[in-house]
């Protein structure tokens, strides 16, 4: 009987010891997982990244840039000019070279700056229409498609200005003739000033404008300018007697 009670006490002690060991093992496992989570995993990730970078840095680069840059975009310019030398500017891929073709022939080349802008400050035009196209080539040698075509007309011919009425030196009398009609014709698309007043033109280039005369000699100045900037001027003198 005494032996049985002694065995029971030993069993209870062993059971308590097992429970304590199990609890301690559980706590240690949790602490190990926490340590691995906060220190082990990030360190492993950093190590993997480092090894990957090291491996990539020791291997030759086999990738090749074959993607062409986008076509250059040229800034808008006047459709017609009387200047034989013009500026052409625009935008393209930074660091690329831009070739400007004039009427089908490559004529100019420049580099694109760090802001993605390029400038040709002395493009020489031919008389008549000039078709301008730009292409760009990046540092890998890839060439872009051609830009939109820009057409500039070089016109250095003065517009033909004709004054139909009144006649130079004409004299007007009385209040009924105090206001005279100035009429004439100019190249279509031009602008006309009569004594610094804008005049509306017809599609054919005809114009008409009323001018009030002062007593004595009156000077009527007509200035015409075509779309290229060429100017033609005429001056007529008329007299008025009330």
pLDDT tens-digit map of 65-99: 789 999 999 999 999 999 999 999 999 999 999 99
Closest CA to 159 of 195, 196, 184, 181: 184
Residue 67 lies in a domain: no
Domain contains 68 = no
- Total tally of structural domains belonging to the chain: 3
d(C-alpha 77, C-alpha 156), whole Å: 17
CB 107 within 8 A of CB 132: no
The CATH number of residue 185's host domain is 2.60.40.10
Together in a domain, 150 and 166 = no
What's residue 65's pLDDT?
A: 78
pLDDT tens-digit series, residues 165-184: 999 999 999 999 999 999 99
CA 112 – CA 98 distance, rounded (Å): 7
Q: Calculate mean pLDDT across residues 192-198.
A: 96
- Tell me, what's the pLDDT at 63? 62
Least confident of 22-26, 90-94, 155-159, 195-199: 22-26
Mean pLDDT of the chain: 83
Under 8 Å CB-to-CB from 112, ≥6 apart: which residues? 92, 93, 94, 95, 96, 97, 98, 118, 136
Residues forming a β-bridge with 172: 240
Cβ-contact 183, 210 below 8 angstroms: no
The domain in which residue 233 lies consists of 162-241
**84 and 55 inside one domain:** no
Which pTM does this prediction carry? 0.65
């Amino acid at each position: 009987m005494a032996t049985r009670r002694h065995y029971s006490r030993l069993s209870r002690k062993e059971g308590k010891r097992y429970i304590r060991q199990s609890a301690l093992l559980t706590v240690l496992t949790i602490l190990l997982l926490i340590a691995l989570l906060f220190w082990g995993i990030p360190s492993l990730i950093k190590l993997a990244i480092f090894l990957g970078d090291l491996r990539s840095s020791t291997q030759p680069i086999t990738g090749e840039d074959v993607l062409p840059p986008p076509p250059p975009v040229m800034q808008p310019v006047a459709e017609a000019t009387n200047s034989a030398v013009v500026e052409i500017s625009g935008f393209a891929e930074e660091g690329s070279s831009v070739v400007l073709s004039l009427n089908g022939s490559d004529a100019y080349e420049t580099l694109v700056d760090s802001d993605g802008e390029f400038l040709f400050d002395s493009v020489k035009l031919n008389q008549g229409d000039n078709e301008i196209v730009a292409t760009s080539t990046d540092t890998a040698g890839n060439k872009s498609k051609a830009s939109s075509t820009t057409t500039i007309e070089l016109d250095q011919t003065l517009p033909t200005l004709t004054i139909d009425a009144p006649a130079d030196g004409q004299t007007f009398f009385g209040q009924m003739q105090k206001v005279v009609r100035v009429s004439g014709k100019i190249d279509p698309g031009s602008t006309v000033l009569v004594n610094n007043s804008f005049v509306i033109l017809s599609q054919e280039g005809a114009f008409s404008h009323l001018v009030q005369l002062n007593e004595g000699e009156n000077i009527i100045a007509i200035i015409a300018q075509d779309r290229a900037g060429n100017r033609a001027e005429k001056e007529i003198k008329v007299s008025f007697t009330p």
